[in-house]
Amino acid sequence: MNRPIDRDRPSMGQVWLDVVSAVDYLSQGHRPGLNVYDALEEALRWHISALVAGDDESAAVGERGHLPWDDPDALRTALEQLALHNPPADDDQSTSACAFHSALTHWVRQMADQYNDGCTWAHPTSDRGCVGRHQDPLP
């Protein structure tokens, strides 16, 4: 389904590029082993805690700091919680896709504030070079 462009928020593609960039950077030092699924799970967990806490900011912050260390499938748990706390959409603003977008946007900003001096993430580059259809590979 196509939606009108909202100039006040980043596109979904941009947010995913930022997530990949943040994970690429963080997994090489600050958070070894972090992958995009971990980032998605963490973002959803934070989003759900904010939904549950409502206006109580301190409850949301306390809950999002709780990591499910003994959960063998934390992403599945986060998705189940999202389905439980994010009722079926009755408008375009409460779909699961919007929840993902909002959660990941917030996660990227939090990671940038904490690990990148609040700056946007540089997108990773390929080490394979650029090969066009009618060009020879780079040496």
Q: Is residue 40 part of a domain?
A: yes
DSSP 94: S
pLDDT given at position 96 = 81
Confirm whether pTM is higher than 0.75.
Answer: no
If you average pLDDT over residues 20-32, what whole number do you get? 94
88: left (phi over 0), alpha (psi -120 to 50) or beta: beta
Give me the domain span that covers residue 105: 21-64+72-115
Does the pLDDT at position 55 exceed 80?
no
Winning range, highest mean pLDDT, from 66-70, 77-81, 133-137: 77-81
Q: Is residue 135 part of a domain?
A: no
Give the total number of structural domains in the chain.
Answer: 1
Q: Which of 4-8, 11-15, 52-56, 77-81 has the lowest mean pLDDT?
A: 4-8
Q: Is residue 78 part of a domain?
A: yes
